[in-house]
Amino acid sequence: MEYLWAPWRIEYILQAQTGGCILCQKPKEKDDEANFLLARGRNNFIILNVFPYNPGHLMVAPYRHIAHLDELTDEELFEHFDMVRKSVKLVTEVLKPTGFNIGLNLGKTAGAGIEDHIHTHIVPRWQGDTSFMSVVSNTKVVPEALKETYQKLKSKID
């Protein structure tokens, strides 16, 4: 049997489940570092995904709890995608990926883990970032702890 050592996961496993929307809850807590919240706009925020596909996997979400693109006001929509653009620039400068996957999963069928609160994923990619682990054992290795990634990105955000 192979073991994958990931000691930071115990924090998530042991945390109390609130049952509410995490994308509504985290910005209200006002503890940006503990919640990996990188930036706050007037209508949206940028947060690290705590279950990243790769280091630097960010999400941009509106503060309002809405599920559909057509529910965003023009102001929310512009700021949302401006923050996506700024996220790509930030991650490019700090982590130097060679590509990105950027997108929205609208609805459970489309893969939305949080289906009632719209958010955009920004996933940095590097040549060869899928290894034998993902092919052979359906396991993804994320080579950097969230706190380290957060500190790198936070130190460069404008």
Q: Which residues are catalytic?
A: 119
Rounded to 5°, the CA angle 29-124-113 comes to 50
HSE (CB half, 13 Å, CA atoms) of 139? Answer: 11
60-64 CB contacts, 8 Å cutoff, 24+ apart: 60/84, 60/87, 60/119, 60/120, 60/122, 61/23, 61/117, 61/118, 61/119, 61/120, 62/117, 62/118, 63/24, 63/27
